[in-house]
Amino acid sequence: MIRALTGYSTRNPWKVIGLWAVLGFALIALAPTMTARVTQHQTGNFLPPSYDSAAALRIAQEQFGVDPDATTVTVLVARSDGSALSAADQQRVEAEAAKLSQRRVTMPREDDVPQFLVPDASQTPRIAPAMTAPDRSFELLAVQLTGNPADQGVQGVYRTFRDATRTQFADLGMRTGFTGGLADQVDSTDANETATKVGGALVTGLIVLLNVLVFRSVLAAVLPLLAVAMIGGVAAGAVAGAAMITGSKLDPGTPGLINVVLLGIGIDYLLFLLFRFREQLRNRPEQPAREAAAQVSGRVGTAITSAALTIVAAFATLGLATFGQFRSLGPAIATAVLVMLLGSLTLMPALLAAAGRKMFWPSRTLRREPPEGRAARFGALVTRRPLAMLALSVALLAALAAGLTGIRMDYGRGGSGERTPAVATAAEISRALPAGVSDPTSVFVTATDGGTLSTAGLDGLSRALTQVGGVGQVAPTVLNKDHRAARIDLYPTADPQSQQARDLASGPIRAAAAQHTPAGTTAHVGGTAAILADVATAVDHDLTIVFPVAAALIALILLLLLRSLFAPVVLMLSVGLGFAATLGAATLLFQHALGRPGVSFTLPLVLFLFVVALGTDYNILIADRIREEMQRPGPARAAVARAVRHTAPAIATAGLVLAGSFATLATTPGSEQVAFAMALGIMLSALVLSLVLVPALAALLGRALWWPVRPRPTAGGHPQHRETAPAPEVDRVTAY
């Protein structure tokens, strides 16, 4: 199957390139609109219905008409001179709010973004007075907008509304502040806009520069980016289309994560092909370029397929998760990687066949055999002192893994703690009112005996909730239209994103609600703090299932590829140690050094899947080449040295590119931990595990590594080397 795809692509390169170009341009244009329709921002919607906060969210939607797609912005209005608001001031505030609520807010036009790529989110906001500070220093307005806060269109509408509101109240001698999830996200995005653009430009420059230094070629430097962008556009459309067909929803951060993953692995796979293609052209200068492209693509395609399938298998296990954010992430990334695999077996071989030897123009390295390089000397060092190199690599990884001591999970926003205007406004509100006033914890009571509810009948529950330590204020009970459901809003003194607020919602508040709920009724606790508490429970459950299943599937793929019982165990132990070292390093930096509450709750699972799956890519490449070289005559250590010499440049370059891709996530608010851990994990996987630890073990174990089916040396070596393999005593395979 693999050779059939690569063979057809190299025989008909321009047909394949044309087909991918048409699909790429079409889906790149449609993907943003499609993606906006299948993303949701309510974390509670990702919880199973059996969780208490999910039941509360369902009651809020069904009984109180809460829009699941709504996002609330809290607007602070105060006098510019610092004086307390008078009765007349409050009347003016409410009058201006009424005017704003009747005005449709249109999207601003972005000169650098084609309008058809941004869905129209123009709308009329719903605005209502929320609360006045006890000292009358400010009044709060609750503004409801519809749409995903991660949507560029919704963010544009918010910016327009914010600027108009600020101007309108400034004309009355009043100042305004804005806070809430959408306000915080927009402020962080605006603050990091320059860094995001610079980061993207640096990664692009890094990829081009590395390829220029390695290949000294124009096409080899630019082509990887163009090819991956084309395939990535098709993948984004495929993911959104699959979500629309299946009715599943994506987390807002999923599309960005997919883009980074595809950029990294796509360029990795093309680099693997380019290095092997150059090697083939050097060793057989008389061979036609298309024939060389077919031969190389068929051989490397097997390793690429196995590498891609490890990622697909790892993320497919997320289908077993109970937390919907994980469960939707798995199929999305698996689909995108499958599209990238298809592109690697069709578009990339077609590009090699179409460009031929011109792929490496104007470099002249194809015409001569370069002298022995650093990769060859490094391979000789690893095989000459394998025990010392193994000990050094294990010591480094173990030292980093020691950082896991005392690790804690942080279920907050995971941001960098930057002082944005939204954060400053929230701090000003919390000095006069409970911290949870703009994001309350709500107790929903429903009648189960067919009767109706009354506010008087719920006074006992309301008084009990008032006495719970940590609850700053309790709002009056609100009944729905048929009086069969009631809502009691609580304003905790702790930040709704904090561990203290989560413990309060899941412990004392739920206990008080269960104990004091009248007969014939049932109560559920909802709100951000309650949702995050339930998310913590769901994630802890999912970790115990996904980790072992993903590891078993990856081990099975390695078993089938390497045809060995021992080698997969060695590779899995190495990537497991790499995972522990990476998570330990992240804990040392963010929890211990920077004093964060802990590491992001999604980090262990996402890091495990990415580092184990993507790190296994490099292990597969080096292990597959070691096995191939051991089929040639000569000592096993010489085979390992040749394998390191051939693969070190490809793995090192690919690792740097992939790590750089993940590093760009640092410019996305709240993704700093993921960016650091991913970049470090990939570098450890590429430079320590694949180029030191695994070759050192292979040098120590020799052909026993492949037990029970050990590779047997043949007179001509591997079929690909039969015409060019040197004699054992003259080891002159080309170095990079």
Check pLDDT > 60 for residue 416. no
575 and 393 Cβ atoms separated by less than 8 Å: no
Predicted confidence band at 732 (pLDDT cuts at 50, 70, 90)?
Answer: very low
Listed in sequence order, the residues at least 6 apart from 330 whose beta carbon sits closer than 8 Å to its beta carbon are: 315, 316, 317, 318, 319, 321
The answer on pLDDT for 726 being more than 50 is: no
State the fold for domain 69-191. Alpha-Beta Plaits (3.30.70)
User: What's at 118, amino acid-wise?
Assistant: V
483: left (phi over 0), alpha (psi -120 to 50) or beta: left
Residue 120 DSSP SS3: coil
C-alpha to C-alpha distance for 410 and 499, rounded to whole angstroms: 8
Return the residue matching tokens 């995108």: 336
pLDDT at 187: 87
Read off the pLDDT of residues 336-356 as tens digits, 9 standing for 90 and up: 899 999 999 999 999 989 988
Q: Which of 547, 548, 513 is nearest to 527 (CA)?
A: 513
How far apart are alpha carbons 8 and 30 in whole angstroms? Answer: 29
Strand partners of residue 73: 143
**Higher pLDDT pick, 112 / 40:** 40
Could you tell me which residue, 255 or 538, shows the higher pLDDT? 538
Contact 289, 304 (CB under 8 A): no
Intra-chain end-to-end CA distance of the chain, in Å: 31
The amino acid at residue 657 is V
Task: HSE, CB side, 13 Å, CA atoms: give it for residue 655.
Answer: 25
Q: Is the dihedral of CA 134, 140, 142, 148 positive or negative?
A: negative
pLDDT band at 42 (very low <50, low <70, confident <90, very high): low
pLDDT at 414 over 60: no
Q: What average pLDDT does the structure give for the chain?
A: 83
- The pLDDT value recorded for residue 727 is 34
pLDDT (average), residues 222-245:
84
Which amino acid type is present at position 190?
D
Distance CA 58, CA 81 (A): 44
To which H or E segment does residue 269 belong?
Answer: helix 254-283
Which two tokens mark 548?
Answer: 């072992």
Residues 260-301 pLDDT 10s: 778 778 878 888 888 888 888 888 888 888 899 999 898 888
Residues 679 and 596: their CA atoms lie apart, in Å, by 20
Per residue, what are the HEC states of 173-193? CEEEEEECHHHHHHHHHHHCH
Residues in the chain: 736
**pLDDT band at residue 302, thresholds of 50, 70 and 90?**
confident
Q: Higher-confidence residue: 605 or 516? A: 516
* Residues forming a β-bridge with 525: 443
User: Is the link from the previous residue into 68 a cis peptide, with omega within 30 of 0?
Assistant: no
Residue 570 pLDDT class (50, 70, 90 cuts) = confident
Looking at residue 84, the DSSP 8-state letter turns out to be P
Q: Is 495 left (phi over 0), alpha (psi -120 to 50) or beta?
A: beta
Q: Where are the alpha helices (DSSP H) in 440-490?
A: 459-466
Structure confidence at residue 736 (pLDDT): 33
Residue 475 CA to residue 491 CA, distance in Å, equals 8
H helices present in 38-134, as ranges: 52-64, 87-100
**Between the CA atoms of 476, 480, 483 and 489, what dihedral angle is there, to the nearest 10 degrees?**
-30
Instruction: In whole angstroms, give the CA distance from residue 172 to residue 211.
Output: 59
How confident is the model at residue 521, as a pLDDT? 92
Q: Rounded to whole angstroms, how far apart are CA atoms 157 and 118? A: 12
Residue 706 scores a pLDDT above 90: no
pLDDT in tens, 366-404: 666 556 678 888 989 999 999 999 999 999 999 999 999
pTM of the model: 0.71
The encoded tokens of residue 117 equal 């790529």
Peptide bond into 362 cis (omega under 30): yes
Is residue 729 very low, low, confident or very high in pLDDT (cuts 50, 70, 90)? very low
Q: Taking the CA atoms of 492, 494, 499 and 504 in sequence, report the sign of the dihedral they define.
A: negative
Name the CATH superfamily housing domain 434-532: Multidrug efflux transporter AcrB pore domain like (3.30.70.1320)
Name the residue with tokens 């097997």: 302
Angstrom distance (rounded) from CA 70 to CA 40: 10
- Percentage of residues of the chain with pLDDT beyond 70: 89
Asked if 480 contacts 512 with a C-beta cutoff of 8 angstroms, the reply is no
Q: Which amino acid is at 697?
A: L
Residue among 725, 723, 724 at smallest CA distance from 713 = 725
At 80, which amino acid appears? S
CATH code matching the domain that covers 1-37+192-368, chosen among 3.30.750.80, 1.20.1640.10, 3.90.280.10, 3.30.200.20: 1.20.1640.10
Q: How confident is the model at residue 497 (pLDDT cuts 50, 70, 90)?
A: confident
Q: DSSP states of 574-622 as a string?
A: HHHHHHHHHHHHHIIIIIIIS--SSEETTHHHHHHHHHHHHHHHHHHHH
CB 487 within 8 A of CB 440: no
Q: How confident is the model at residue 461 (pLDDT cuts 50, 70, 90)?
A: very high
647: pLDDT strictly greater than 80: yes
Above 60 in pLDDT, residue 35?
yes
User: What does DSSP assign to residue 143?
Assistant: E
* Range in 58-67, 107-116, 291-300, 594-603 the model is least confident about: 107-116
Radius of gyration of the chain (CA): 30
* Tokens 């929230």, residue located: 426
Q: What is the mean pLDDT of residues 52-79?
A: 88
pLDDT at residue 733 above 70? Answer: no
Residue 161 pLDDT class (50, 70, 90 cuts):
very high
- Helices 289-316 and 324-345 pack at an angle, to 10 degrees, of 170
434-532: same fold as 69-191? yes
Average pLDDT over residues 450-476: 91
To the nearest 10°, report the CA torsion of 576, 578, 582, 585.
Answer: 110
Does 177 score more than 90 pLDDT?
yes
Q: Is the dihedral of CA 446, 449, 455, 461 positive or negative?
A: negative
d(CA 250, CA 375): 43
Phi-psi region of 97 (alpha: psi -120 to 50; beta: other; left: phi over 0): alpha
pLDDT tens profile 7-22: 889 999 999 999 998 8
Residue pLDDT, tens place only, 657-685:
778 777 777 766 667 888 899 889 989 99
For domain 373-418+533-736, give its CATH number from 3.20.20.70, 1.20.1640.10, 1.10.3300.10, 3.40.1010.10: 1.20.1640.10
Q: For residue 72, what are the β-bridge partners?
A: 144
β-partners of residue 442 are: 489, 526
pLDDT at 166 over 70: yes
- Do residues 265 and 617 make contact, with C-beta atoms less than 8 angstroms apart? yes
User: What token pair was written down for 509?
Assistant: 């508040």
Q: What is residue 725's predicted lDDT score, i.e. its pLDDT?
A: 39
% of the chain at pLDDT higher than 90:
29
Angle, helices 386-401 vs 374-384, to 10°: value is: 90
- Can you give the residue ranges of every domain in the chain? 1-37+192-368, 69-191, 373-418+533-736, 434-532
Residues 6+ apart with CB under 8 A from 84: 135, 136, 137
41 or 244, greater pLDDT:
244
